[in-house]
Amino acid sequence: MMSKKIEEIAAAMVTPGKGILAADESSGTIKKRFDSINVDSTEDNRRDYRQMLFTSRSAMRKHISGVILFDETIRQKAANGKNLVDIIGAAGSIPGIKVDTGAKEFAGHPGEKVTEGLDGLRERLKEYHRLGARFAKWRAVIDIAEGLPTWGCIKANAHALARYAALCQEQRIVPIVEPEVLMDGPVASHNINRCAKVTEWVLNTVFAELYEARVRLEGMVLKPNMVIAGKNARTKAKPEQVAEQTVRCLKATVPASVPGIAFLSGGQSDIEATHHLSLMNAMGPFPWNLTFSYGRALQAAALKTWAGKPDNVAKAQEAFAHRAHMNGLATKGKWSKASEKRAA
Ligand code: 5MM
């Protein structure tokens, strides 16, 4: 019964036509985003911004299956006194929560990080479930650089992801398992082939750890990076190469019992992230649904349009709805550059 419920939630999170809004920026990250539009990162501004997203009716109802929240947001009320969590639920979307406490310097491994947050996690999950969260997220980051990543870093992060996922399922919460191979590597040799090798290594390690931790794959969602060249790579890969190599890598590593894969955008432009997802879905069918769990690639246009001004709320919601719609098309392999124009 317990696992059946988890399986149903996981399936709903990756329904074709819909995807996940990652709105769980921690204090440092949301400040960076607000700095880019010259808005102070106050509690009220953060609330107003996120309220603007969650009350964007057309986006939320039609294309957003779930929203990942930060601890502050899951406890916050909208200006009219309603809980933000209830606003998300009323739109037919599932509230989720980021439960890791951040990627920290990994002792003995210069240049690498390990994600923390396992201490007290069982109790925190109980509270988040009471507050309305039905899924959670934990993000591990893996850097590509000269001599990196190390086996020690991949193993430690995969182990933590698996322990987190098992605890979530124990508490009837669907774990989003997010091992992110970063695009920001400083080395010019960080091309698509290197990303493919590292991503395959990481995903194989993560699924071995999930198996040992007795995580039910039917009740989880994987949130990986796409296989893509690093930002400083000498050669940039074509969209078709990104799609082909990502699908090849996932087929080689992700068991068919996983219901869905919701990609992160990782620093890709809005259009790139949509284009890549659409190309992949056009190559299907696959054993799992392929969808989005974007932060920047879903929010960038809306954030810029909002710019902290109440008068801009309606326009910002339109920008968000447009991006959500485009990515909804991409989950069915039906997006094209013409769709952007038609919708505009
Ligand atoms: C929304 O950003 C999430 C939280 O990041 P921090 O812990 O660094 O504040 C982040 O985990 C996000 O969910 C993933 O990176 C995917 O977002 P992008 O922007 O890469 O699609």
List the CATH code of the domain at 6-343: 3.20.20.70
Please, what's the b/e burial string for 20-41 (b: 16 or more CB within 10 A of its CB; e: otherwise)? bbbbbbeeeebeebbeeeebeb
The yes-or-no answer on residue 334 being catalytic is no
pLDDT at 337 over 90: yes
pLDDT at site 189: 84
Average pLDDT of 253-269?
98
Which band of pLDDT confidence, cut at 50, 70 and 90, is reported for residue 196?
Answer: very high
Residue of 7, 25, 112, 178 marked catalytic: 178
Average pLDDT, the chain: 97
pLDDT at 108 over 80: yes
Q: What percent of the chain has pLDDT over 70?
A: 99
The whole-angstrom separation of Cα 296 and Cα 156 is 27
- 3-class secondary-structure state, position 175: strand
Average pLDDT of 93-112?
98
pLDDT at 168 over 50: yes
Which band of pLDDT confidence, cut at 50, 70 and 90, is reported for residue 343?
Answer: confident
Which band of pLDDT confidence, cut at 50, 70 and 90, is reported for residue 187?
Answer: confident
- Asked if 67 and 54 touch (Cβ cutoff 8 Å), the reply is yes
264 Cβ inside 6 Å of ligand 1: yes
Element (H, E) at 60: helix 57-63
Which band of pLDDT confidence, cut at 50, 70 and 90, is reported for residue 2?
Answer: very low
Q: Which residues pair with 292 in a beta bridge?
A: 263
User: Within 13 A of 144's CA, how many CA atoms are on the CB side?
Assistant: 29
pLDDT at site 186: 81
179 Cβ inside 6 Å of ligand 1: no
pLDDT at site 167: 99
The whole-angstrom separation of Cα 211 and Cα 200 is 17
Least confident residue range of 2-6, 36-40, 217-221: 2-6
Which band of pLDDT confidence, cut at 50, 70 and 90, is reported for residue 344?
Answer: low
- Asked if 175 and 136 touch (Cβ cutoff 8 Å), the reply is yes
41-68: pLDDT as tens digits: 999 999 999 999 999 999 999 999 999 9
Q: At what angle do helices 239-253 and 270-282 cross, to 10 degrees?
A: 60
Q: Which residues pair with 180 in a beta bridge?
A: 141
- Asked if 248 and 209 touch (Cβ cutoff 8 Å), the reply is no
The yes-or-no answer on residue 244 being catalytic is no
Q: Which residues pair with 64 in a beta bridge?
A: 19
Closest listed residue to residue 265, CA positions, set 337, 202, 184:
184
279-298: pLDDT as tens digits: 999 999 999 999 999 999 99
Top-confidence residue, 342 or 82: 82
pLDDT at site 188: 83
270 Cβ inside 6 Å of ligand 1: no
The whole-angstrom separation of Cα 343 and Cα 59 is 13
Mutate to test the pocket of ligand 1, among 53, 116, 296 (most ligand atoms within 8 A of CB): 296
pLDDT at site 1: 34
Residue of 7, 137, 223, 340 marked catalytic: 223
Q: How far does the centroid of ligand 1 lie from the alpha carbon of residue 1, in Å?
A: 32
297 Cβ inside 6 Å of ligand 1: yes
Average pLDDT of 183-206?
94
- The DSSP-derived string for 13-66 is HT-TT-EEEE----HHHHHHHHHTTT----HHHHHHHHHHHHT-HHHHHHHEEE
